[in-house]
């Protein structure tokens, strides 16, 4: 009952609401912090002025000791009157090794810290070359200062497809497929774990694999690794979304979490055709731990509007979308009562025996990924 309280409902609904308008405006060459993410830490590039040197004098060694210690050398100098040509201070050639725990799906952008404006900027940087296999990046820099690498925050959005499959009691596997990668997340009891990341059909090792975390901690860690599948309230400004009414989204994620121990759910192409007040997806009873794909004949198309669920007559490979009710089926107020029409007793017993902490964890992950609006 606590998971269905008004306080929890309000918090979950807040996760799904989009900002109505952009409140932040950025200058030319300034990095939009809602659109780009800094990855791999900050590189501090500085040159130091040569300290006073020792001077032998009458058997003594004399050296001036500056009160403020080593001083940074300003490059290029603020005054260049003593220098003959403008080419005396050419751009600084920099080569950096990219942090091995960070994934860049495209050539990273380089940004410098503007101490006066207190933001990252991309001006004064040129000739950027990234060698992905060696994980080396080279570029030209006009002046010294803090440097970071940035990537489009929404590079993996919208998702191409997704699937949620039971692995056992209080144990599921969530698979999200994007244009660049396939991400598998295991949810067991009240914790999440990254199972695998595939790049170009090859498994990419990650330091996060095998580490169990809460959903919030997991999302933060995955973002820091460069794999972001967690939209924010600003994401709809940068991604072509399939907008769904927040209340409908919240209700369907809750229902999916409730049934997740015994039923598999998957993406449907018809979800883009049913409007913003409804969602369409595939569902199948799944009580085994087999990794083989579920056959198309075992999937059932369901449509849900938050207060009414129905089985659709059309199939995934039909030519045209239709909301026609499947023969010999009825409307229901919830997905739980909908699947009872075709589910086995064993499946419904698993649903009733699911741990409430597990259901909450699954629901949180679905709320964070927003599969229906960003696929």
Q: How confident is the model at residue 195 (pLDDT cuts 50, 70, 90)?
A: very high
What is the predicted pLDDT for the residue at 75? 82
- Residue 243 pLDDT > 70, yes or no? yes
Alpha-carbon distance of 101 to 282, in angstroms, equals 35
The pTM of this model reads 0.88
Judge whether 110 and 125 are in contact, CB under 8 Å.
Answer: yes
pLDDT at 291 exceeding the cut of 70: no
Is residue 148 predicted with pLDDT exceeding 90?
A: yes
Q: Work out the number of other CB atoms within 10 angstroms of the CB of residue 107.
A: 14
pLDDT at 210: 87
Region 298-325: what's the mean pLDDT?
93
pLDDT tops 90 at residue 95: yes
More confident residue, 78 or 95: 95
pLDDT at 347: 94
pLDDT at position 82 = 60
Structure tokens given for 192? 């999440």
- Please spell the DSSP secondary structure of 116-158, one letter per residue: TTTEEE-TTEEEEEEETTTTEEEEEESS-EEEEEEEETTTT-S
Q: In the predicted model, is pLDDT for residue 142 greater than 70? A: yes
Statement: residue 295 has pLDDT above 80 = no
Task: Report, in this order, helix, strand and coil percent for the chain, each rounded to 5.
Answer: 20, 30, 50
> Please, are residues 194 and 206 in contact by the beta-carbon 8 Å criterion?
yes
Per-residue pLDDT averaged across 271-279, rounded? 94
Q: Given a cut of 70, is residue 290 above it in pLDDT?
A: no
HSE-up of 210 (CA within 13 Å, CB side)?
3
Q: Where are the domains of the chain?
A: 36-45+70-152, 161-369
Calculate the average pLDDT of the chain: 90
pLDDT of residue 204: 83
Query: Between residues 295 and 245, which one has the greater pLDDT?
Result: 245
Q: What is the mean pLDDT of residues 179-193?
A: 94
What pLDDT does 3 receive? 67
Please give the Cα distance from 258 to 289 (Å, whole number): 19
């Amino acid at each position: 009952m606590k998971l269905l309280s008004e306080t929890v409902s309000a918090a979950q609904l807040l996760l799904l609401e989009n900002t109505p308008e952009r409140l932040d405006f950025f200058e030319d060459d300034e990095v939009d912090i809602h659109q780009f993410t800094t990855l791999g830490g900050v590189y501090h590039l500085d040159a130091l002025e040569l300290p006073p040197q020792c001077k032998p004098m009458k058997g003594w060694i004399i050296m001036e000791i500056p009160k403020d210690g080593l001083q940074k050398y300003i490059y290029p100098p603020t005054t260049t009157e003593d220098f003959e040509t403008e080419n005396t201070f050419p751009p600084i050639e920099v080569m950096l090794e990219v942090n091995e725990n960070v994934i860049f799906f495209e050539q990273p952008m380089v940004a410098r810290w503007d101490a006066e404006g207190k933001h990252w900027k991309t001006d004064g940087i040129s000739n950027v070359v990234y060698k992905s296999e060696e994980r080396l990046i080279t570029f030209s820099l006009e002046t010294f200062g803090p440097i970071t690498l940035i990537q489009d925050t929404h590079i993996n959005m919208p998702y191409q497809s997704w699937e949620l499959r039971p692995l056992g009691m209080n144990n599921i596997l969530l698979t999200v497929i994007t244009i660049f990668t396939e991400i598998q997340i295991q949810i067991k009891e009240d914790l999440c774990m990254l199972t695998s990341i595939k790049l170009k059909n090859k498994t990419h090792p990650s330091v996060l694999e095998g580490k169990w975390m809460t959903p919030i901690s997991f999302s933060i860690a995955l973002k820091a690794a460069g794999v972001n599948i967690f939209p924010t309230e600003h994401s709809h400004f940068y991604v072509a979304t399939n907008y769904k009414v927040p209340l409908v989204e919240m209700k369907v994620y809750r229902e999916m979490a409730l049934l997740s121990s015994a039923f598999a759910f998957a993406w449907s192409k018809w979800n883009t055709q049913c409007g913003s007040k409804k969602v369409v997806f595939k569902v199948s009873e799944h009580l085994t731990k087999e990794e083989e794909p579920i056959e198309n004949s075992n999937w059932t198309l369901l449509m849900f509007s938050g207060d009414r669920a129905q089985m659709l007559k059309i199939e995934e490979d039909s030519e045209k979308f239709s909301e026609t009710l499947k023969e010999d089926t009825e409307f229901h107020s919830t997905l739980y009562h909908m699947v009872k029409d075709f589910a086995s007793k064993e499946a419904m017993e698993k649903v009733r025996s699911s741990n409430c902490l597990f259901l909450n964890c699954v629901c949180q992950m679905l709320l964070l990924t927003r599969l229906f609006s960003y696929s």
